[in-house]
Structure 1
């Protein structure tokens, strides 16, 4: 029941990390200093190294007292506020005992809530002013029952364990079928007031598909009619009559959605005709429509995949397509939607299109091409896209080959379970390549791997446009070496540890004045604490990255595993900086002779290359200029458009 930290002597556990709707993440556990029983340990929650909550471990815990942990008053509860820790960010939540900064180990429940991702599969089948019903289950642990919460206008209305028997789920092979929930709202929600119903998985805070559901006030009907309808529905008593009433109401909802989908399709065609007329083209020729599908809206500040996605959307637009987008996992927020629409993209979302399936079904046959970004979306929607868009060209875009990345990670970390996962991903990737009309990858290396594995696949290498940023300051005005990364990505976290633990000491042995800057988002406490290492300065997320890159002498990319083209290398080259990198980081990129000095395989080679370029102004400037020229020539908008045109079968 206890766990000792050898360096500090603190005992303790995190028992649970649970999402509290409309509040945040509640962390519970206990902590005790056996060397100083009078002391009450202070426990803090940190996000990316910044404290977001703290509490004293002094709550009475009878279970601890029975187990011999002093008087048992060693429990704690602390709440990480929702505005500080959003649901997708819990992976960077660290819980430490202060002032030692001793990480508290996690019990099984807390590990499930934080360290082990819930593979949520769910549906809200009935949602209305009188009843909300559906089901949810964890695909990774089908025997585990999840909790569901219903929020009315952001206030918790009901919550329960989703364990009601659903015979339809059982009969379709979903375990014992006990994943259901069914809430009857009494009294019903008033129809003359706007309402928003949100259905959440309590363990993750993740909204169920289609949530939130909006119920606008029914101004069209007078009070007498509304009262009549309410009384009629309230008087429905028999089970079969209730079922008929629900079927009728659901049919009306689906009818409205179908009508809206047809109206959307007609409006898109009308806009296309008008645009063609203004441009002097034949108004009878409707521009082709292409639908882009990704987990979430592209944000170039987040990752290289977003940069590639947005670049390809812009290229399709330049090729004359009417470009649409729908998010399959994270619903579009208003700000992002307006940003994309201002750029001329059409965004589809709830309530008319709560899921990708509803859009494909509602606008069946309306798209000329479907672009599926990432393997997860190709696996889920490729067959549906073929069914509802039989004449459309289906294009699968591979951000990187997941099986290749996992195989390399397994080799570096000595983890045989990753080799098994890599084999499974390889099968999925090959199936998607075989079933698509075209497959897009950013790397010639990965294109060759796919082509050999799936000879019938139509594989295309399509880069993404990387804009040039301001050239660096004069060499003598610049200082430091930068590593820019998204630290929530396993290859980048491993690279940071290798860089600080093994490479940097060799660098500073030869040149003690060299300082390393760690820059990027989603930093766990392990990276934040690297600020204590000699010669390391942790900056975290930098809003104006081009300005920072102008001030450093070079960047590094010490990746020991991974796959695909690395955005961090292209960003460095676009800024006119050398980037010392491993073969993994430079894979798929051109490497002419002046840049070969930047390639390093071992810690010693890496350190020697960094020290050499840091002090050689002429060579550093020459390499930076050549790298910048490569980006300008090969990673520009025109190159992307021509490559995408071939992938779309238009050349």
Structure 2
């Protein structure tokens, strides 16, 4: 392979989200092979986006439902096209296949959108059954089994679209083993279509401070991501008051990109609840905190904030959804709990007990060493892509369901897109 085209759902923001960090990791990996890598995106330029030109990656603005993309990709003739999330595959894969039929089509889910959406809906349903706001704040994280998740997802539009995109692609990169198991066990997706590739973490430049040198709790996450916003609300109304009762001088620093007014309105210095918004160096503030709080009641994928916490030597308290896909059989670097009181108890113990804190830090380092080795993960992905390139025709022949879906689904998507493009041309003329 010589040429790679990455089509982004958004411009990557590695300092705002785990998805942005993952995209940079993939771009750096491809560039390290000596491949010519281009990044194209139809989204508006964002405030905190990375300058990909520093990586030697050309940035190309493209348009939805516009034949100009066909001319661009036909001229580029990439050997591999990576689609950033299934929305992008729906929009552009049929155009890529028509212009470059031999190019490998790889989908990166970042996290399984339909799984996150199903868990969010399960939480909403439970909240709707509550008699008061206070009762809603006492609800624990979603604890649905794979069978229950399948029942919630099977008829959803997003699951059908996302899994169809997985079948249509030559390979899909999955960030979480749990999602791999869910797709294969409950939805029957062939293992040959999936590749597990966790975050390929870049070590922080900031040195880890000792227990005595650290102070305060930290919570961090992009406010535009629904699980993060729910976590902030759960902290504000249920969890932090319990922690503050035990630690009256404790402070919680809440960071994250794009805080809306409803988030900054939660800032209250008397309660020790500080909504600080955007920070340009998450590793720096994470390394200064003593404990990271990540009370995620729904979500999917691997949580970048918790990986960063381990990399910075900061123990964390989270839920089973927060730790999902990260530690395997290894003990968590902190505590994994579900209900408000237990969450508060674990947070206080970790904050006060130096020996417990040091053990949690060591466990976090062990997780990173065993499960997030940048070199090994990158080598495995490149080897899988090269094998797929060599066996492309046989691989595609064995994926009859994918061929069938491309024939039917892409025809309808193609005709709709062409109709929009024709309408736009008529309007301009």
Shorter-chain TM-score tier: 0.7 to 0.9
Among 118, 122, 133, the residue aligned to 1:407: 118
Q: Deviations over 1:2-35 (max 9, x none)?
A: xxxxxxxxxxxxxxxxxxxxxxxxxxxxxxxxxx
Hey, what does 2:162 align to over in structure 1? Answer: 429
Displacement after TM superposition at 1:405 (Å): 1.0
Hey, what does 1:455 align to over in structure 2? Answer: 189
**Secondary structure of the residue that 1:348 maps to in structure 2?**
strand
Hey, what does 1:483 align to over in structure 2? Answer: 219
Q: Which runs of 4+ in 1 moved over 4 A?
A: 353-357, 419-422, 591-594
Work out whether residues 581 and 598 of structure 1, in 8 Å CA contact, stay in contact via their aligned partners in 2.
yes
Work out whether residues 481 and 555 of structure 1, in 8 Å CA contact, stay in contact via their aligned partners in 2.
yes
Displacement after TM superposition at 1:454 (Å): 4.0
Hey, what does 2:171 align to over in structure 1? Answer: 438
Question: With structure 2 as the length reference, what TM-score do the two structures score?
Answer: 0.77
Work out whether residues 30 and 37 of structure 2, in 8 Å CA contact, stay in contact via their aligned partners in 1.
yes
Hey, what does 1:368 align to over in structure 2? Answer: 79
Is residue 528 from structure 1 mapped to residue 261 from structure 2 by the alignment?
no
Among 332, 336, 340, the residue aligned to 2:52: 340
Displacement after TM superposition at 1:608 (Å): 1.0
Question: With structure 1 as the length reference, what TM-score do the two structures score?
Answer: 0.52
Displacement after TM superposition at 1:341 (Å): 2.2
Q: How does 1:514-593 map to 2 (within 5 A)?
A: 514-532=250-268, 534-590=271-327
Bigger share in strand: 1
Distance 2:188 2:26 in 1: 24
Hey, what does 1:330 align to over in structure 2? Answer: 44
Distance 2:90 2:40 in 1: 16
Displacement after TM superposition at 1:316 (Å): 1.4
Bigger share in helix: 2
**Secondary structure of the residue that 1:309 maps to in structure 2?**
helix
Q: Deviations over 1:425-453 (max 9, x none)?
A: 01001111111100111001111222231
**Secondary structure of the residue that 1:487 maps to in structure 2?**
coil
Hey, what does 2:341 align to over in structure 1? Answer: 604
Hey, what does 2:232 align to over in structure 1? Answer: 496
Q: How does 1:379-394 map to 2 (within 5 A)?
A: 379-394=90-105
Distance 2:66 2:321 in 1: 35
Among 235, 243, 261, the residue aligned to 1:507: 243
Q: How does 1:87-486 map to 2 (within 5 A)?
A: 288-331=2-45, 339-349=51-61, 357-364=67-74, 366-414=77-125, 423-452=156-185, 453-456=187-190, 458-469=193-204, 470-486=206-222
Displacement after TM superposition at 1:455 (Å): 2.9
Distance 1:342 1:354, change over 3 A: farther
Distance 1:605 1:383 in 2: 50
Hey, what does 2:131 align to over in structure 1? Answer: none
Displacement after TM superposition at 1:332 (Å): 8.3
Q: How does 1:610-621 map to 2 (within 5 A)?
A: 610-621=347-358
Distance 1:397 1:374 in 2: 6
RMSD: 2.7
Work out whether residues 446 and 564 of structure 1, in 8 Å CA contact, stay in contact via their aligned partners in 2.
yes
